[in-house]
Amino acid sequence: MSLPLHHPGDALLMDYAGGCLGEAGGLVVATHLALCPGCRCAVAELDAVGGALLEELEPDALAPGALDRLFARLDEPPPYEEPPTPPRIAPPAVPSLIPEPLRRYVGGNPAAMRWRMMAPGFQCVDIPLSRGERARLIRMKGGAAAPRHSHEGLELALVLDGGFSDALGQFARGDVAVGDGSIDHKPVADPEGCLCLSVTLGRLRLTGAVGRFLNPFMRL
Amino acid sequence: MERALSSFFPSPGRHARLVCGRAFAFNAAMQDPLPPAAAAMSPDDLLLAVGRARDRAAFAALFGHFAPRLKAYLRRLGADAQGAEELVQEVMLLVWRRAETFDPAQASAATWVFTIARNRRIDALRREQRPEIDPDDPALVPDPVEPADRTLETAQDSGRLRAAIRALPPEQAELLRMAYFEDKPHSAIAVERGLPLGTVKSRLRLALDRLRKALRDPS
């Protein structure tokens, strides 16, 4: 299998490693990481930057007795660890098109999902996330074109199967298309169609506005 | 930390590169007997001692080193003093319980502890899931490199990385602080500062070039 050619880029990888990327962006980045050894390596380096920054912090003394309190808990039996919600889906016998961590959100079989028609040639499955964020699986028929647009905010699309092309190039399995307001684009699905994971980040967190999804796919 | 490690691992020719991976020097060194005094041990050795022998003296020393830094980390991310103390307890309890999964060929103790604290913070303060890969997923595309050829974050790497971070120009260091300590993704920084995202990205690239150079060129 060929490796991805289009990557999330340093800024998103650092946001992910630093822990400030929300669940929606994290879902795209982590699912890309499952398909991209190079970016896994880059994230390991950025985790090391986190370790170095932790070492460099000015220590803030704990309250007296903190160590004693902790020692008193060391022999506690570990609490029952709740399974992650949504629960992890057992790996299928045949490797799925949909790798973890996305699989635990939507399952591994696109044919079993409840697709909703968005527009001719476009279907989607909404993926609810914490804090009102949202991601979508989008299925485009061969040759289907999203409306031309540009906007504020950052849209991420990770190709899982098939592919699409736009002004930035051709995108195939594992590739991440990162669009921001400076790009006026019009993705067109490859002849075999396209399955992708799509999220829009952007000013949501800053303005507190809820549900302003500006992604071209989201608008449909 | 480097001094402690180099006296413990006297071999001069250790790999000094960080990328994913695994190194040889640790494997030989891991068979050495542990020095008796926990105070003289590096965090990596302390964590290994906890993982192998449930060594409480080593854990106390590890707590002395990391707990005050973890408290500082959590306070910077918005926890109040008491909340930070509670989270430090939880993070250090996870360190105790998971110590046997620590692999010094993959990351330094500081990096390993950082990732636990980061994830616990996202769960507790942001109340959010953190999507992560499953290394055992059959759909995961494996690393193309053989494990034996891969290198790692060594103690020298950690030292050089920290020196490189201290040497960053202020506007570049700030980008790291915002991503790691202030819960601000780069897209938000750009909007907040009225900077084009491209400017933020090019500053970030300059910073990362310096850090990667420090990690990869042991000069």
Residue B83 is assigned to a structural domain of this protein: yes
Asked whether this complex has an ipTM greater than 0.90, the answer is no
Mean pLDDT of B67-87: 96
Three-state DSSP state, B29:
helix
Q: How far is B22 from chain A (nearest CA, A)?
A: 12
Of A1, A47, A61, nearest to B111 by CB-CB distance is A47
Residue B1 has pLDDT above 70, yes or no: no
Residue B160 is assigned to a structural domain of this protein: no
The token pair at A212 is: 């302003």
**Residues B75 and B121 placed together within one structural domain of the fold:** yes
The token pair at B18 is: 């960080």
B18 touches chain A (CB under 8 A): yes
Q: Scan for tokens 């959590």, then name that residue.
A: B74
Of A10, A50, A96, nearest to B114 by CB-CB distance is A50
Give yes or no for a contact between B125 and B90, defined as CB atoms under 8 angstroms apart: no
**Quick one: pLDDT at residue B40?**
79
Residue A8 has pLDDT above 90, yes or no: yes
pLDDT tier, A154 (very low <50, low <70, confident <90, very high otherwise): confident
The token pair at A200 is: 């829009």
Residue B142 is assigned to a structural domain of this protein: no
Q: What CATH number did the domain enclosing B99 receive?
A: 1.10.1740.10
Q: Which of A35-44, A70-79, A203-212, B82-91 has the lowest mean pLDDT?
A: A203-212
- Highest-confidence segment of A59-73, A169-183, B131-145, B177-191: A59-73
**Residues B200 and B92 placed together within one structural domain of the fold:** no
Closest C-alpha to A36, from A173, A190, A169: A173
CA distance A176 to A197: 9
Beta carbons of A20 and B70 less than 8 Å apart: no
Residue B82 is assigned to a structural domain of this protein: yes
CA distance B15 to B153: 9
Residue B208's H or E segment, with its range, is helix B197-216
Give the number of beta-carbon pairs within 8 Å between A and B.
254
* B78-to-A150, B53, B85 alpha-carbon distances in Å: 35, 35, 12
Residue B61's H or E segment, with its range, is helix B56-76
**Residues B183 and B97 placed together within one structural domain of the fold:** no
**Quick one: pLDDT at residue A67?**
96
Contacts of B212 in chain A (CB under 8 A): 45
pLDDT tier, B69 (very low <50, low <70, confident <90, very high otherwise): very high
- Identify how many contiguous H helices and E strands chain A contains and give both numbers: 7, 7
Residue A128 DSSP code? E
**Residues B198 and B115 placed together within one structural domain of the fold:** no
Residues in chain B: 219
The amino acid at residue B47 is L
pLDDT tier, A132 (very low <50, low <70, confident <90, very high otherwise): confident
Q: Walk me through the domains of chain A, giving residue ranges and CATH numbers.
A: 10-219 (2.60.120.10)
Contacts of A89 in chain B (CB under 8 A): none
Contacts of B201 in chain A (CB under 8 A): 9-11
CA distance A176 to A198: 10
Contacts of B158 in chain A (CB under 8 A): 48, 51-52, 55
Residue A78 has pLDDT above 80, yes or no: no
Beta carbons of B114 and A44 less than 8 Å apart: no
Mean pLDDT of A19-48: 95
B172 touches chain A (CB under 8 A): no
Mean pLDDT of A103-123: 93
Q: Which of B102, B129, B156 is the last residue of a domain?
A: B129
CA distance B219 to B216: 9
pLDDT tier, A107 (very low <50, low <70, confident <90, very high otherwise): very high
Q: Which residue of chain B is at minimal alpha-carbon distance from A72?
A: B93
- Report the 3 state secondary structure along B151-182: CCCCHHHHHHHHHHHHCCCHHHHHHHHHHHHC
Residue A119 has pLDDT above 70, yes or no: yes
Contacts of B214 in chain A (CB under 8 A): none
More confident residue, A80 or A151: A80
**Residues B94 and B188 placed together within one structural domain of the fold:** no
Closest C-alpha to A123, from A141, A105, A99: A141
DSSP string, A156-195: EEEEEEEEEEETTEEE-TT-EEEE-TT--B--EEEEEEEE
Number of domains composing chain B: 2
Beta carbons of A21 and B128 less than 8 Å apart: no
Q: What CATH number did the domain enclosing B172 receive?
A: 1.10.10.10
Give yes or no for a contact between B94 and B72, defined as CB atoms under 8 angstroms apart: no
First to last CA, chain A: 32
Our CA angle for B184, A158, A109, nearest 5°, is 125
How far is residue B184 CA from its own chain's centroid?
Answer: 19
More confident residue, A211 or A112: A112
**Quick one: pLDDT at residue A38?**
94
Backbone angles phi, psi at A127, to 5 degrees: -120, 105
Contacts of A120 (CB under 8 A, 6+ apart): A144
The amino acid at residue B185 is P
CA distance B70 to B115: 11
Q: How far is B29 from chain A (nearest CA, A)?
A: 22
**Residues B118 and B217 placed together within one structural domain of the fold:** no
CA distance A85 to B68: 32
Of B115, B192, B204, nearest to A47 by CB-CB distance is B115
Q: Which domain holds residue B105?
A: 1-8+16-129
B133 touches chain A (CB under 8 A): yes
Mean pLDDT of A110-133: 91
pLDDT tens column, B13-57: 333 333 444 333 333 334 344 445 666 799 999 999 999 999 999
Residue B112 has pLDDT above 80, yes or no: yes
**Residues B107 and B205 placed together within one structural domain of the fold:** no
Alpha helices in A99-159 (DSSP H): 103-106
Residue B84 is assigned to a structural domain of this protein: yes
Contacts of B41 (CB under 8 A, 6+ apart): B4, B8, B34, B35, B49, B58, B61
Residue A81 has pLDDT above 80, yes or no: no
**Residues B2 and B107 placed together within one structural domain of the fold:** yes
Average pLDDT, chain B: 81
**Quick one: pLDDT at residue B34?**
43
Residues 26-55 of B with CB under 8 A from A: none
Residue B152 is assigned to a structural domain of this protein: no
**Residues B104 and B186 placed together within one structural domain of the fold:** no
**Quick one: pLDDT at residue A75?**
86
**Residues B101 and B188 placed together within one structural domain of the fold:** no
Beta carbons of B119 and A19 less than 8 Å apart: yes
Q: Which of A57-61, A156-160, B152-156 has the lowest mean pLDDT?
A: B152-156
Residue B147 is assigned to a structural domain of this protein: no
Contacts of B177 in chain A (CB under 8 A): 53
**A166 strand-pairing partners:** A169
Q: Which residue of chain A is at minimal alpha-carbon distance from B166?
A: A56
**Residues B104 and B52 placed together within one structural domain of the fold:** yes
B163 touches chain A (CB under 8 A): no
Beta carbons of B110 and A205 less than 8 Å apart: no
**Quick one: pLDDT at residue B105?**
87
Closest C-alpha to B93, from A77, A62, A69, A74: A74
pLDDT tier, A79 (very low <50, low <70, confident <90, very high otherwise): confident
Residue B104 is assigned to a structural domain of this protein: yes
Q: In a mutagenesis test of the B interface, which of A3, A32, A47 is the best target, namely the one with the most B β-carbons within 10 Å?
A: A47
pLDDT tens column, B155-201: 677 888 999 999 999 999 999 999 999 998 887 888 788 888 888 88
Beta carbons of A95 and B138 less than 8 Å apart: yes
CA distance A38 to B12: 29
Give yes or no for a contact between B86 and B37, defined as CB atoms under 8 angstroms apart: no
**Residues B4 and B111 placed together within one structural domain of the fold:** yes
Closest C-alpha to B166, from B126, B118, B202, B214: B214
